[in-house]
Amino acid sequence: MTDMTKIWTFDQLLQQRAADEDQTPLLAFPKTRRGITDYDPIPGASLNRFVDGAVKCLIRKGFPPVHEEVVVGVCAPTDLDYLVTIFALIRLGYTAFQLSPRLAPSAVRELLESVQQKHDRHALLYARDDTTFHQKLGVLRNLGLEVQPIATRDEYDSPQHTEAPTFHVEGYDYTKVHYQRCLILHSSGSTGLPKPIYYDHQKLMAFGLYAQDATAFITLPFSHALGMSSYMQAIHKRKTIYAMSGYVPQTHDTVTAAITAANPEIVWTVPYVLKLLAEKQDGIDAIRSRRFVSSGGSKLPDELGDMLTDAGVHIGMQFGSTETGLIMSSAYRPREDKAWNYLRPPPHVIPYIMFEPLDGEKHECIILDGHRGKIMSNSDDPPNSWRTSDLFVPHPTISNAWKFVGRMDDRITLLNGEKVLPLSIEGRIKNHPLVREAVVFGIDREVPGLMLFRALGTSHWEDQQFLDQVWPTIEHANSHAEAFSQIIREMIVIIPEDVECPLTDKSSIKRGHVYREFAPIIDATYATAGSANKTSSLQLTVPELEDWILRTVRSQGYNIEDVNTQFFAVGMDSLKAIHLRALILKHIDLGGHESDCASMIVFDCGNVERLAKRLYAIRAGNCTGDKQDWVMNTIKVLLHKYSEFPENLNRIDSSPSTSWSNEKVIILTGATGFLGAHLLAALVEANSVRKVYAFMRPGSDDCQPPEVRLESALQDKGFIIPLDKVVPLYTDITQDHFGLRPTTLYKTMLSEVTHIIHCAWAVNFAIDISAFEPQLLGLHNLLAFSIQTEQHARLLFCSSIGVAQSTKGPATIASAPLPSFEACSPMGYAQSKLIGERMVESATKYGANATVLRIGQIIPGRRRGTKLWNPTEALPLMIRSARKGSVGALPIMDTGRDAVDWIEADTLADTILQLAGISQATGSTELVYNLVNPRGFSWKDELLPVLQRAGLEFDVVPWLEWLERLESSSEDARVNPSRKLLGFWRKQTQREGGLVFDTAAAEAGSMALRGAVRVVDGSLLVEMAEAWSQHECEQNARVA
């Protein structure tokens, strides 16, 4: 017989809370997604009713009750819908696996497979409103996952559920279920694939043993152990826990307002949020009167904790893990005890915790068998124990009080046995605005080294210039480190800004991953730091260097044909490029001139031939050639190479056709990009279009069908459109017949294609002009194809106004070919676009019906697609700096940059279709069109006031003052990402006179452009600002 006088399961606990006479609210989330202080208190009876309604929703979705372990993944920001769905799964008998949204789709699949022992079904529930997650949906489905949205309040809080009988399972033996798994969390994955951490009902009930009898406020997600335990404590003790919505960004202002409105006795949070609160006095005031403010999840810097303690805040650090539960705290010490960073085990833990001496004062914390919070073991010494790998030092006078100083897997043991603790060194250096991440290395080496990952917008500095900027901060870090831990300048390696540093969900470094991934760079740093390894360096001639480079690149798996093949063209990325440089430094004699071997020398040279010559010149001390001369010579070679075309053998009339037909057949390249998605949506809407061939380059996942990849990309950009007109194809336009097999499809295209819109292009500002040759070859093949088509197909080449950005103002840029490359931006990207324009002009002399579309700054449209303007671009980052907690100001532009001509993506797409003669009876046949918004506006007099009326509160200041404010603003990139572009903004020159792009020809041929509205009119900018905030909330939810 089941003993019903005892609560055995979490679901029983929920039912008991529903039956309690005391209906004190258990949870309080904001009523709305964007809410901060509009808390909606949920008592036990309501929560139980919601869970019952969600059970019925899940049954309708195909999740019937189960009596054996079946795992269902859940991936969403923490809010009421998320918790109710998880509790409903538990009521149905499922085990809810809370998966981080930051996991790669393949890792999600692997984790679900690893825990699903008896069933082939792999289901994942996600949040409909989590727009960032949508980009993964297609990939997840293609991997065989069943993906469905979680239950939402309009589904589970419905009158039909209130009137229907409550859910009940007959013959439920709670005593047996007591030991069954019901919840899974996972580790951070710092050493590989995250590991599942299991909780049964017994463990969830154990949270009541040390639950706080106090109201609380929490910023942690339910998917982290400390967050989950805090929610559980509230339910056990019938004390309200107030929570921030996972869709609201955690900033100083939002967190301060949320805490003040909740007025809790306890605050559960993380060091990052405490840093935000400490930025201003009102944040400190909001937490000063609390019983204690608990911080966990990562190390709180001593300086910040001391400052808050001195200000009267009672900091209570919590220490534990998913595997052990809470094991130590400093929250319960007397307020007069200022040793906030020395943790003490509570009485029920003391018998099960030991500290094993290591070196010096450092001890490893070990949890012994018998501790009720321990849910797994990893050692038999002592038997059935959990070795945490966490390092502590004891307080000099307080008994059994311990300060966390790092982890064993963080320690770097040098060759002489000295042990470097890198966290404090890295933390101080990461505070520099030009540094994205800092990683100390040196295991089994004589001295430690340092990798500096550049922040965005720092690529204009040479490596040594960049290091000069950061060096004072490194010296400061050295001054706080032991002598053997200090970093010397020769042991620092600069990592380009587009190379990612492997991080966990908590934004801590995956140290093991970093050391493995960057091993060649680390090896090369030591090889070049002294002379020990230089005796075996190779002194090679240019032909020998070419042979060595070819063999080395091929050994890395790249199919490089000859010395002229572009590195970028064979798939080499920035990380592999610096790996190749590392091998060069390790094996090739550079005559002591290693500093001339720049971090991006591989991409700077572009191919084997040029790299070999550069290396030979470096060794000879003769590396002073004029790069600009080389750039112009390369441009001339590429122009000559790709400006000849075959004659049109099928053409009868050489004049371009603009006749109207409702049988248009289109080739569209770049359909997965921002503009391409808008073009595809417009083409699908057009009655005159019969078919669209959507060309896409194959991705790394070759098994993903092209239609799945296309659908996923469209969903990510806010499009759900019918694809019955669309033929998605994996193609390689650099190959004969576009790489299509069989070639009959190519022949069919020759006979039926009427238009080609080419907007696919590599967007990489770190590579030089030579690396864009594959793009030029692809354009050449498309132009040659258009000349041979039976329908005399019209080709429209999407160029960029960057081709004229170096023109001295004031000036008007005509809708005509540019006379020289002097007006072109110096970036390889813009230079390649201008070469493309010249190729189009040349092709028309061979009979091509082709046009250049010189496109300006594109922003989201009003009628189609997402309102999210890429938040990592420079202009969105500048506008977002107006927020409190960031700069709180926006600059006045000089007269040369005050005029703004942004064009909306849907207007641009419609314009292109009209100029092409696709969506209107006649097209236009000019060679060049400038496509910017003809109705511009003033940055100072119109944009800034509109943003202020939209609710942004900021100062308007001169450009130089804005730069000064940006430099002195918060260094936290999560709150103030604009600061990472400080170097980029400093580089911007003030233009004396503006550039005006003449749009008369385009307006004459397009009603859409003639009717274009000003961006500042209407609500578009407000919607874009809301989209940025929504995106930021989702990103914060992933790293909280």
Q: Residues 476, 555: one domain?
A: no
Compute the radius of gyration of the chain from its Cα atoms. 31
pLDDT at 533: 42
pLDDT of residue 893: 86
Summarised one tens digit per residue, pLDDT across range 567-613 is 877 878 776 787 788 788 878 888 888 777 877 788 778 889 989 98
Residue 505: what pLDDT?
Answer: 57
Tell me whether residue 331 is in a domain: no
Indicate whether 555 belongs to any domain: yes
> Which residues, at least 6 apart from 714, have a Cβ–Cβ distance to it below 8 Å?
672, 677, 680, 681, 720, 721
Looking at the DSSP assignment, which residues form a beta bridge with residue 820?
none
- Residue 563: inside a domain, yes or no? yes
**Three-state SS for 278?**
coil
**Cβ within 8 Å of residue 89, ≥6 positions away:** 58, 63, 72, 74, 95, 96
Q: What is the model's pLDDT at position 907? A: 95
What's the pTM?
Answer: 0.57
Q: Judge whether 703 lies within some domain.
A: no
Domain tally, the chain:
3
- Long-range contacts formed by 305-312: CB under 8 A, 24+ apart: 305/340, 305/341, 307/278, 308/274, 308/278, 308/284, 309/338, 309/340, 311/284, 312/288
- Other Cβ atoms less than 10 A from the Cβ of 263: the count is 12
**pLDDT of res. 654:** 36
Same domain for 561 and 494: no
Distance CA 856, CA 934 (A): 11
**Mean pLDDT per 10-residue section of the chain, whose length is 1040 residues:** 67 93 94 87 94 93 90 90 95 91 76 77 78 65 83 85 65 78 79 77 83 90 86 93 84 90 93 85 94 82 88 90 83 91 92 88 91 84 90 93 83 72 84 88 85 85 88 87 80 88 73 86 77 59 92 84 83 76 84 77 84 88 64 85 77 42 88 94 93 86 74 85 91 91 88 96 78 91 95 95 86 92 85 95 93 95 87 82 81 84 95 90 82 93 86 86 81 66 64 82 94 89 79 56
Angle of helix 574-587 relative to helix 519-529, nearest 10 degrees? 30
587 belongs to a structural domain: yes
The separation between the first and the last C-alpha atoms of the chain, rounded to the nearest angstrom, is: 44
In this prediction, residue 209 carries a pLDDT of: 75
| Integer Cα distance of 506 and 504 in angstroms | 5
pLDDT of amino acid 455: 85
What integer pLDDT is reported at residue 631 of this predicted model?
Answer: 79
> What does DSSP say about strands 419-420 and 412-413: parallel, antiparallel, or unpaired?
antiparallel
Q: Which amino acid is at 767?
A: I
**What pLDDT shows up at residue 857?**
92
| Same domain (yes/no): 492, 559 | no
In a shared domain, residues 139 and 194: yes
- Domain boundary, last residue among 170, 195, 210: 210
Which tokens hold the place of 90? 């538990």
Question: Which token pair is 859?
Answer: 């922003």
Co-location of 44 and 89 in the same domain: yes
By C-alpha distance, which of 1040, 868, 885 is closest to 977?
885
CA distance 1030 to 1035: 9
Residues 597 and 487 in one domain: no
Query: What per-residue confidence (pLDDT) applies to 134?
Result: 61
Q: Are residues 9 and 120 in the same domain?
A: yes
Any idea what the CATH number is for the domain that residue 597 is in? 1.10.1200
Buried b or exposed e, range 514-530, using 16+ CB within 10 angstroms: bbebbebbbbbbbbbbe
Q: Which of residues 579, 598, 625 is at a domain's end? A: 625
Task: Among 591, 625, 659, give the residue marking a domain's end.
Answer: 625
| Token pair listed for 803 | 């081709």
Q: What is the pLDDT of residues 765-810, one digit of tens each?
A: 667 788 888 899 999 999 999 999 998 999 999 999 989 988 887 8
Q: Are residues 545 and 461 in the same domain?
A: no
Domain that holds residue 77: 1-23+39-210
Q: Contact, 707 vs 938, CB < 8 A?
A: no
Q: How far apart are CA 579 and CA 601, in angstroms?
A: 11
Both 581 and 478 in a single domain? no
CA distances 638 to 116, 433, 560, 758, 761, Å, are 56, 39, 20, 19, 16
CB atoms within 10 A of CB 611: 24
**150 assigned to some structural domain:** yes
- Rounded CA-CA distance 375/915 in Å is 66
Pair (57, 191) in one structural domain:
yes
Q: What is the CATH number of the domain that holds 449?
A: 3.30.300.30
Per-residue pLDDT, 110: 84
Residue 106, domain CATH = 3.40.50.980
Q: How many CA atoms lie within 13 A of 281 on its CB side?
A: 0
| Claim to verify: residue 457 and residue 549 sit in the same structural domain | no
Regarding beta strands 755-758 and 664-669, do their DSSP bridges make them parallel or antiparallel, or are they unpaired? parallel
The single residue listed with the structure tokens 């122009």 is: 639
Residues 17 and 152 in one domain: yes
- 330: in domain: no
As given in the structure block, the two tokens for residue 334 are 């007397």
Domain annotation covers residue 747: no
